[in-house]
């Protein structure tokens, strides 16, 4: 096991104790990370949200020059409400060579490993910088990264590569689907359930909307790109939540549908969004407004995050593969912030400790073995020509 494993486990326990559910603040965790990185000699800058409730952290070790590598992770975690945990999800528990707790694999394990090794990176004669990017609200649309990327561009910060430490079982990932999330609000006209023809039942129109959405699934399956490496190979649609109405004998005046799409290609997202807007404008709204002029359907974009495009030349992929002794790289169906960094002109790969199969579930865990492999990889990174040679 890696010599820094015990320290990493201790720091991970501290990070897990911060209940950074996306609906809550991440400022205490960010302050802890900032202090630790500053102690290692890093130049740290925080990028706050307008309300000051949350912040992104961007820190740098090494010279102030273009190039270098970003180690990136999100600080937020998904909720634990209504999940059957064996122990307190925000008090890390160790058992059977595993560390249990919310965020242990998704993705505070990687953040802990990268931060613990900051003093080791600082000891190296760095010719290129190593950056740390820790963001908020990845789980609800990559909001933090979407704010951080333009801020870095405005400052002229131009790293060459990025490693996104999402849980991949330390496999090298070179591509993933995009993720588009939407909330659709339906406003109808309430009334007594005995006279449904006098009202506009928002719940019924929400169901009609979802029915049309599901009809698009077959078309998307037929549009799967040839030789697609994704599983499944086509763009997927998932309806995550439907809510509406107040009682069985009241015409529902309000309803809401939350759904997501995971595009394998940009044209699929355009197809679905255009088709659903046509359904609203051509079919649903005219029927609703024939009874009530105030009826409405409003679509809110929670997040539209680009995928990580597979590139023939990808220096980050090749570097991490060489550090791990891996042959080749994979693609995954889940989304990350990687595509946003790729849009900055960086080569990007996704690689981190833990399994995505454990993420978002009760009794989430990361194994000590996975953390040790991650630490080994990051230590090799700190000694690699990508950071130490002037011509990387």
Q: Which residues are catalytic?
A: 76, 138
d(CA 238, CA 127): 46
Distance CA 282, CA 287 (A): 9
- Cα–Cα distance between 78 and 209 in angstroms, integer? 27
Environment class of residue 271 by beta-carbon count within 10 Å: exposed (0-12), middle (13-18) or buried (19+)?
Answer: middle
Q: Which residues in 36-68 are b (16+ Cβ under 10 Å) and which e?
A: bbeebebebbebebeeeebbbbbbbbbeeeebb
3-state SS, the chain, equals: CCCCHHHHHHHHHHHHCCCCECCCCCHHHHHHHHHHHHHCCCEEEEEECCCCCCEEEEEEECCCCCCCEEEEEECCECCCCCCCCCCCCCCCEEECCEEECCCHHHHHHHHHHHHHCHHHHHHCCCCCCEEEEEECCHHHCCHHHHHHHHHHHHCCCCCCEEEECCCCCCCCEEEECCEEEEEEEEECECEECCCHHHCECHHHHHHHHHHHHHHHHHHHHHCCCCCCCCCCCCCEEEEEEEEECCCCCEECCEEEEEEEEECCCHHHHHHHHHHHHHHHHHHHHHHHHCCCCCCEEEEEEEEEECCECCCCCCHHHHHHHHHHCCCCCEEECCCCCHHHHHCCCCEEEECCCCCCCCCCCCCCEEEHHHHHHHHHHHHHHHCCHHHHCCCC
């Amino acid at each position: 096991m890696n010599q820094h494993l015990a320290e990493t486990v201790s720091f991970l326990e501290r990070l897990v104790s911060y209940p950074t559910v996306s609906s809550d603040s991440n400022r205490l965790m960010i302050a802890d990370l900032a202090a630790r990185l500053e102690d290692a000699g890093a130049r740290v800058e925080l990028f706050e949200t307008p309300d000051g409730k949350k912040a992104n952290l961007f820190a740098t070790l090494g010279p102030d020059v273009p190039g270098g590598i970003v180690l990136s992770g999100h600080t937020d975690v998904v909720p634990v409400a209504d999940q059957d945990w064996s122990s307190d999800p925000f008090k890390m528990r160790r058992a059977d060579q595993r560390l249990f707790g919310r965020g242990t694999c998704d993705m505070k394990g990687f953040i802990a490993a990268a931060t613990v090794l900051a003093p080791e990176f600082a000891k190296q004669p760095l010719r290129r910088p190593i950056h740390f990017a820790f963001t908020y609200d990845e789980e609800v649309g990559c909001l933090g990264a979407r704010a951080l990327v333009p801020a870095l561009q405005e400052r002229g910060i131009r790293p060459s590569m990025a490693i996104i430490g999402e849980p991949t079982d330390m496999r090298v990932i070179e591509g993933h689907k995009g993720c588009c999330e939407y909330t659709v609000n339906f406003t109808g006209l309430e009334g007594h359930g005995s006279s449904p023809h006098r009202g506009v039942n928002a719940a019924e129109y929400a169901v009609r909307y979802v029915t049309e959405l599901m009809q698009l699934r077959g078309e998307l399956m037929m549009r799967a790109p040839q030789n697609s490496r994704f599983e499944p190979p086509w763009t997927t649609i998932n309806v995550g939540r439907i809510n509406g109405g107040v009682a069985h004998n009241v015409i529902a005046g309000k309803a809401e549908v939350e759904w997501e799409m995971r595009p394998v290609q940009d044209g699929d997202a355009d197809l679905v969004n255009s088709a659903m807007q046509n359904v609203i404008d051509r079919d649903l709204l005219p029927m609703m407004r024939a009874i009530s002029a105030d009826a409405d359907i409003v679509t809110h974009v929670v997040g539209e995050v680009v995928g990580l495009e597979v590139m023939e030349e990808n220096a980050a992929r090749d570097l991490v593969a060489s550090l791990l002794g891996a042959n080749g790289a994979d693609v995954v169906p889940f989304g990350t912030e990687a595509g946003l960094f790729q849009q900055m002109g960086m080569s990007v790969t996704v690689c981190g400790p833990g399994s995505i199969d454990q993420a978002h579930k009760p009794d989430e865990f990361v194994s000590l073995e996975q953390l040790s492999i991650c630490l080994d990889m990051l230590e090799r990174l700190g000694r690699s020509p990508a950071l130490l040679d002037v011509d990387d």
